[in-house]
Structure 1
Amino acid sequence: MVGQAGGKQPTINDVAALAGVSKKTVSRVINRSEFISEKTRKAVQGAIETLGFVPNPQARALAFRRNFLIALLHDNPNAQTVLNFQQGVLDAIKDSDLALLVRPVDRGSDRLLDDVRTFLEKQRPIGAMLLPPISENDDLAALCETLGVRYVRVGSAPLDDPQHCVSSNDHDVVKEAVRRLVDLGHRRIGFVRGPEGFRSAAEREKGFREALADAGLSLAEEHYAPGNYRYAAGVEAGEKLLALAEPPTAIFCSNDEMAAGVMSVAHGKGIAVPGALSIIGFDDSPTATHIWPALSTVRWPIRQMGVRAAQLLVPDFLGAGAKAIDPDPAALTSTFVERQSVAPPGR
């Protein structure tokens, strides 16, 4: 990079002069306009590199009428899920000019739409990613459309057109996990649900009940426990289920945090895992391998879903390296991971 004589910073006018194009053309190249020929684009980029020109981010934002931000909106009780998704997004945008802005919201608020509207109008992000359960709110997606903000909805089942949605296969993989318990000989299988109003909770429960039905079994009312994806809910569920006269020989928990809570109660009661009780969770969070015995669980590809969400949201702002991450749709498929927390009943 040669820069300018006397230490003067090169300007967009200098780039235009060296490339033999107009200032407006340079601006279009910088802002990745689709209406520029490859020859012109290369000439401008060559001039930028030669001069060592650094675009002014404020000027770019003004020209683009958006800040170079993408927003992540969530109301999720599981902090690890949010962090893992964020990491995937950051993996995708690390070589771009974009920054990630994270905004917690209250899905139960009467002002949800007004608050999100104010946030989007103030911050002017290029796009927004909606994590469950707010991703299931059609009005939020419509608001993004109205404001001209790109959006992607993340869920445990398809929620929108493919260009606006990243989804996993919770229902199918839970059926697989529960079939494994049935194949091992379990017939009294307990279930700890996720929070009311979460599509993920509904999909996981649906998969659980269908697996039992396929095996000619049903979920006994006393073997059912509500939950909210938090450790304390798992403890409460464990206290309820393991105090029964005929407790379950296996328990499926709708996430790893609650599974850890159930396991803690079992240890406290002297119930051997997996000798007297098998436990399965969901997420494959760090918790799954930080407890003993290591937890059998469903590996939810939430980090890869973050990558894919960014790829869908801002493909024109990502470099070739980012676009090549996780090109296989199979990377978004949840899988059952069997570890030491499951065994035949009464082993």
Structure 2
Amino acid sequence: MTARYCSLARAPEPAFPAGLAAERLGALMSGRRMWVNGTVLHYCFFDGDGDASVIAVPGSGATRRVSWVGAEDQRDVVRDCFREWADLGIGVTFAEVADRSEAELRIGFQQGDGSWSAVGRDALLAGRGERTMNFGWDLTAPGERTVALHEIGHALGMQHEHQSPFAGIHWDDEAVYADLAGPPNHWSRERTWFNVLRKLDADEVNGSVWDPQSVMQYPFTAGLILEPEQFRGGVHPPGTLSPLDKEFGLRWYPPAGAPRLPVLVPFRSVALSLGPGEQADFTVEPRETREHTFGTFGESDSVVVVFEERDGEPRFLAGQDDGGTPRNATVGARLVKGRRYFVRVRLYSGWGSGETAVMCW
């Protein structure tokens, strides 16, 4: 029997300028959806009467509301899977909040809408009243807990493993289309192509080898894969975090180091000796309440994010991504005397001969 599959929707593709060097473009593709390390990802569950989709009733011309609210046992599965990812010791942590305006990840349980998630920072493109993740069937059923692990993997920036160009999969395309057109998925050819048959760019996949044991790998029945020969009988991942899944999380989000971060002092630039994908972290303790500006300098592509410490954890305040542009990231934020702030700079690539730097003023 065919499994129920995660169904990602198309997200806007970045419009990088033509003529970027291959190395620079590859670095941008690799890191553009990843959070800066040290981020606390706040998640909430929709729980109000108005949290619903309005859908058409086939053949009647009428509409009905389908709730996004999930039962407590469904929420507990998701909470447990957040804990499992966090227990790896990755540098991104998770916190449940009740106020959706405080949440980067907003989770619904609309039955019949499939299971899906925004990939990484694409979640920031959704409006405050919109879902960034949905679970469309019972997560407490045998074998379905893996769906929550899988969607959280997407929220961390991971892609579907079977779409990796390193997999070398030769599909029986028409068999795949026919299989997913039937129950329980009922997918169109476009949705099947986008989530299964489409090959991802080598720079945006989870690793340089295919991991058929990954939690991001769909299970497939026999008769869909022609090559490699050993998978003609299907692919059957265990539904748990594989060693390479864990390696991915720890590579992109290494555990936090020493608690004392260097202080970014106004009007004093700090050189950034970073390689592609590396990050620099600073604290700012303003001496006066006023508008501050944070900026990078040099020929580089980077993302700069400012957090305010509230209740002992960093809350997103402002950020900018200058990837693929000729300008540098510049972020403005009002800082309040007596509070503490964090500035995190993640480098995609340095493409010039000079040093890069960060400064606030």
TM-score (norm 1): 0.24
| More strand, by proportion | 2
TM-score (norm 2): 0.23
Give the number of the structure whose alpha-carbon radius of gyration is greater: 1
